[in-house]
Amino acid sequence: MFERYKDRFAKFEADHEAVHKVRKHFEENGTIYLVAVGCFGAGYLLRKPQMITIEGAAPVFHNTIAPVISPVMNNVVNNGGYMRKIVRCLETDELWPSMSKAAEATGNSLRAMSKHIHGGTDHLDGLHYVIEGLSAS
């Protein structure tokens, strides 16, 4: 089936020394690679899920194949829209529907507001802001 490509590959190998070196390396060490792949494959197929037990709770299986990522907020449902962060000023108790609206209303840049809310600065103009919740737009 591949007879017609043998001459082309031989010429390619002759023109490129790196191809010759790689081919020679695999011919000399091929069994080592096969054994390593077999060991990894057998280890993958024969592994057992680990069971984690917490005192007073039902056993939990630690799934090593596909990790489960649980959401932080279970009551927020987003049907594909952009999630906005509702911002509140701790001193004035004023609310804004998004971080950009809060930054605009207080006369700060969005970058400065974000940096403050995420812990980069202690305050903005002496006031403190926090994320009060999330809303889907």
Count of structural domains, the chain: 2
77 inside domain: no
Q: Please spell the DSSP secondary structure of 107-126, one letter per residue.
A: T--HHHHHHHHTTSSS-BTT
Q: Does residue 24 sit in the same domain as residue 63?
A: yes
CA distance 19 to 81: 51
Tell whether pTM > 0.75: no
Range of the domain at 96: 83-136
In a domain, 29, yes or no: yes
Q: What is the pLDDT along the chain (137 residues), one digit of tens a residue?
A: 577 777 777 777 777 777 778 778 888 887 888 888 887 877 777 766 655 555 655 555 555 555 555 555 555 555 666 778 899 999 999 999 999 999 999 999 999 999 999 889 998 989 999 988 887 76
Output the six-digit token pair for 23. 């081919």
Q: Of all helices (H) and strands (E), which one includes residue 73?
A: none
